[in-house]
Chains A and B, each alone.
Chain A
Amino acid sequence: MLKIHYDLPLHRDSASRFLPWITGLMVFLGVMSLAFALVLGNAASSWSQALGSSLTVQILPLAPGKPGQDERVRQALDLLRETPGVSAARALPKSESEKLVSPWLGSNASLSDLPLPTLVDVRADGTSLNVALLRQRLDAEIPGSVLDDHGNWLGEVSRAAVTVQTLAFGALALIALTAILAVIFAVRAGLQLNRSTVELLHIMGASDRYIARQFQRSAAGNASRGGLAGLVLAVLALFAAQRIVGPQSGLPIRLALPLTDCLWLLLVPLAATFFAALTARLTVLATLKRLP
């Protein structure tokens, strides 16, 4: 096995000893932020997919003397079923429509007296459905009908999801920045504590890269140890949260992440290790330039 040789006692100084702790904490927070952003993105995408393929047609009851409600519903169903891009159309029975409004009006309300619109659930087949044309035809052929493609609601949900996701990624960036500042502080403290040895190596002909490599390896080792611990803790926390906010919770969100997203989470400690090493290297090289 290749033995890493350290001329500088970096493993002994207090600045280096605290680095695994800070990296562990940062990786934990980073993984949680990223997982939150990914969960939210997946949820928004699945809501959008589910609602994007479904439309609702409301057929409002007309004044007495006009064509009967059942006849208009049948005409609407015929029109919808012959429209290209519509895979299914089903009129909701009155009992189902009443169930939908009962949370607002109460279960004791006499809903049968209310002029509730008939709702038609429409399933679109892919993207071939021309919603604007369908709306035009419904307006022309079935007066009192309203086509709702959930565009407004989807827009709101999408905007909210993007905002929260941006905040989560912003938090991730701040966490990364804090970790980088912590590494710079630790490396500078290490250089100060080992100043005489660094000067000695410099005088003996050690190149700046040779000295920087020692700090770089030490930072990478500390960051990988801390990062691994942070990742394990974050995964445990995510599992615990998944058990609490499972499908039985009734919340319209799933914490389980697909495999590709899990790989993104694994990248957090790897990125922490890479950036810790890079930051250490650049900090040392910049500081050594002050030596003759």
Chain B
Amino acid sequence: MIRFDSVGMRYGSGPEVLRDITFELAPGSFHFLTGPSGAGKSSLLRLLYLAHRPSRGLVTLFDKDISSLSRPELSLLRRRIGVVFQDFRLIDHLSTLDNVALPLRLAGAREDQIREHVSELLRWVGLGDHLEARPPTLSGGQQQRVAIARAVINRPSLLLADEPTGNVDDRIGTRLLHLFEELNRLGTTIVIATHNEALIERFNHPRLHLQGGHLDRLPPGAKPY
């Protein structure tokens, strides 16, 4: 489903931040992405959610070589990917409901269905009373839950999350991981970038470990050197 073959990435004419990255993720797999700060986790995620093109190598997403796709085809591919950004990237002038509804609107869903589904999901993540609230009026944890709800609302084929539990307490963090596992059981491939070792130990999934621009694949429970 996802395949990276000798992929390198650089920003502009700077040095390569990722070098010879080669890995493959099976459909419906669950991986943690770990590594020290500056190792290239966010850059790898940017390649995965098609915000950046590799400077070399081959990236295959959903069995399609992304370098051969047209712009409209790339847009359709991006709609199958849900992203939880580290800084949430909510749109401040839109309500909580409209922020979460965005992927459905992009997919052309009907307004009555949008309202029903979004309200239900926001209630589930504990934001049922904040449907019309604007993001700046929400706490960090609440904003993070809105960002997660937006990423999962259209049941993406691939979910990418950058530190999704960084601003919530353990109880909410565990609940969110259970949500990701539930999505995973329904067939979504999950990659979660995190520093939270306790969470990685509690949820037994393999990890992709980045260090010095290189990637290692570790089985569940194994720790990097």
Of the candidates A197, A207, A289, A292, the one whose C-beta lies within 8 Å of that of B91 is A197
Which positions 187-238 of chain A face chain B at CB distance < 8 Å?
196-197, 199-208, 210
B106 contacts A203, C-beta separation under 8 Å? no
Q: Which of A4-12, A47-55, A61-69, A130-138 contacts B (4 or more CB under 8 A)?
A: A4-12
Q: Please give, as numbers and ranges, the residues of chain A lying within 8 Å of B80 by CB-CB distance.
A: 205
B107: chain A residues within 8 A (beta carbon): 205
Say which residue of A197, A203, A289 sits within 8 Å of B83 (CB atoms): A203
Q: A200-B91, A205-B106, A210-B106 known; A292 and B75 CB under 8 Å? A: no
The answer, yes or no, to whether B94 is at the interface (CB within 8 Å) is yes
Complex CA gap A207/B78 in Å reads 10
Whether a CB of chain A sits under 8 angstroms from the CB of B40 is no
In the complex, which residues of chain A have a beta carbon less than 8 angstroms from the beta carbon of B76? 205
On chain B, the residues within 8 Å of A200 by CB distance are 89, 91
A7-B94, A9-B93, A203-B83 known; A208 vs B49 contact (CB < 8 Å): no
Chain A interface size range: 10 to 19
Q: Contacts A7-B91, A205-B76, A208-B71 known; A292 to B51 CB distance under 8 Å? A: yes
CA gap between A7 and B53 in the complex, in Å = 26
Count chain B residues whose beta carbon lies closer than 8 angstroms to a beta carbon of A. 27
Q: Which of A7, A199, A208, A210 has the most CB of B within 10 A?
A: A7
The 6 closest A-B pairs by CB, nearest first: A205-B79, A205-B78, A9-B93, A207-B75, A292-B53, A205-B75
Some 26 contacts from A to B, beta carbons below 8 A apart, are A7-B91, A7-B94, A9-B92, A9-B93, A199-B51, A200-B89, A200-B91, A201-B102, A201-B106, A203-B50, A203-B51, A204-B78, A204-B79, A204-B83, A204-B102, A205-B75, A205-B76, A205-B78, A205-B81, A205-B103, A206-B75, A206-B106, A207-B72, A208-B75, A292-B50, A292-B52
Residues of B whose CB lies within 8 Å of any CB of A are 49-53, 71-72, 74-81, 83, 89, 91-94, 98, 102-103, 105-107
